[in-house]
Amino acid sequence: MDVEFRHLAAFVAAARHGNFTRAAKALHVSQPAFTVQIRQLESALGVRLLDRNTRSVQLTQIGRDLAPVLERLLREFDSLLLNTKALSTRASGYVAVAALPSLSATLMPRIIAAFRARNPGIAIHLRDAVGARIAAMVKAGEVDFGFGGLNAGEPDIEFSHLFKDRMSAIFQAGSPLERKTSVALSELVAYPLILMDREASVRAVVDRGLASIGHFAAPAYEAAYISTALGMVKAGLGITILPASVLQMENTQELGWRPIHKPDLDRDVGFILKRGRSLSPAAEAFLGAIREEVKARDGKPEKNKRRRRNN
């Protein structure tokens, strides 16, 4: 039996959703028909792609190797269809971009809205991810490009710097830190520290800063998500150190914050690209829109800051 497009789409959906019921619903087919498509694909390839039980499915090693390749191929096919249907329009296409959570929640929605208003024929797919994951997604071809920081040099990755994202201490309103205009990193170690987990690009910046002042103790808490860290601060569990771009998020409005000095903590933010891979015209246009927005804001996505408390 030949492998058909519907078989590949079924496998990609199963890999993405981790559940046959949700995957079948996403493809608008019945679950029995979906199950048959997966079995037919495995039979045609002569390998097992998924280990499944009544509640979930797990990719086999071959399935993990195949999933990102097929997802990219299906995405490119979708882009081709969009372009074919929109030959008479001025702009069409599909762009997949991965961005740091702090940028995905603040800067990116406004850029996407403005870009889509000017280019209604271009679809934008935004995936938020930590720095290490962004580089991996770019290398695997899961996204056209990344927007964030790069912890270390990668031979297959190009990094184009855009701006520096300054770190700030974020704390409960009424904290003694609120009486200062800025705080030294050495002052913060007296408080329980709530830091992002070690896969986050911001954690690498903070760890280097703490090491520079001779502080090597483990943080009081670690969080995988910015919203979790902010919630812990609101609960009085300690203070957190996050990039200034986070201050635009609504859930920081009830918190105090101050920039950090001695040493200054900055995170380099820019574009993450696969070396030697050309971007589609649509991806080039969207990358340019991000660059123009950053330039218009004088390289500071936190420019429109909220008022400081008690200043």
What does the block give as tokens for 218? 């483990």
Whether the predicted pLDDT of 93 surpasses 80: no
Half-sphere exposure (Cβ direction) of 272: Cα atoms closer than 13 Å: 34
In the chain, % of residues over pLDDT 70: 89
In Å, how far from its chain's centre is CA 48?
A: 31
Which fold would CATH assign to domain 71-162+268-296? D-Maltodextrin-Binding Protein; domain 2 (3.40.190)
**Looking at residues 283-296, what average pLDDT do you find?**
91
**Looking at residues 143-167, what average pLDDT do you find?**
86
Domain range summary for the chain, segments of one domain joined by +:
5-67, 71-162+268-296, 165-267
**Looking at residues 80-101, what average pLDDT do you find?**
71
- E strand or H helix at 37: helix 31-45
Residue 99: partners with Cβ closer than 8 Å, 6 or more residues away: 108, 126, 127, 128, 129, 134, 146, 147, 148
**In terms of CATH architecture, what is 5-67?**
Orthogonal Bundle (1.10)
CA angle 33, 38, 43 (to 5 degrees): 120
Cα dist. 195→113, 235, 249 in Å? Answer: 31, 15, 18
**Looking at residues 139-144, what average pLDDT do you find?**
91
Whether the predicted pLDDT of 86 surpasses 70: no
pLDDT-based confidence at residue 83 (cuts at 50, 70, 90) = low
Range scoring the smallest mean pLDDT among 139-153, 224-238, 283-297: 139-153
Before 263, cis peptide (omega within 30)?
yes
pLDDT digits (tens, 9 = 90+) for 106-129: 889 999 999 999 988 888 999 998
Nearest-angstrom CA–CA distance, 299 and 311: 25
* Mean pLDDT value across the chain: 86
**Looking at residues 138-146, what average pLDDT do you find?**
92
* CB-CB contact of 288 with 226 (8 Å): no
Nearest-angstrom CA–CA distance, 48 and 62: 8
Whether the predicted pLDDT of 231 surpasses 70: yes
- The pLDDT score that the predictor gives to residue 125 is 94
What does the block give as tokens for 293? 């927005």
- The pLDDT score that the predictor gives to residue 87 is 41
- The pLDDT score that the predictor gives to residue 49 is 93
- The pLDDT score that the predictor gives to residue 305 is 42
pLDDT-based confidence at residue 168 (cuts at 50, 70, 90) = very high
- The pLDDT score that the predictor gives to residue 95 is 92
Nearest-angstrom CA–CA distance, 201 and 211: 16
- The pLDDT score that the predictor gives to residue 106 is 87
Nearest-angstrom CA–CA distance, 216 and 9: 48
**Looking at residues 187-191, what average pLDDT do you find?**
94
Question: Do the domains spanning 5-67 and 165-267 agree at the CATH topology level?
Answer: no
* CB-CB contact of 178 with 184 (8 Å): no
Half-sphere exposure (Cβ direction) of 146: Cα atoms closer than 13 Å: 29
Write the CATH number of the domain with boundaries 165-267. Answer: 3.40.190.10
CB atoms within 10 A of CB 83: 17
> Strand pairing of 157-172 and 255-261?
antiparallel
Q: Would the pTM count as exceeding 0.85?
A: no
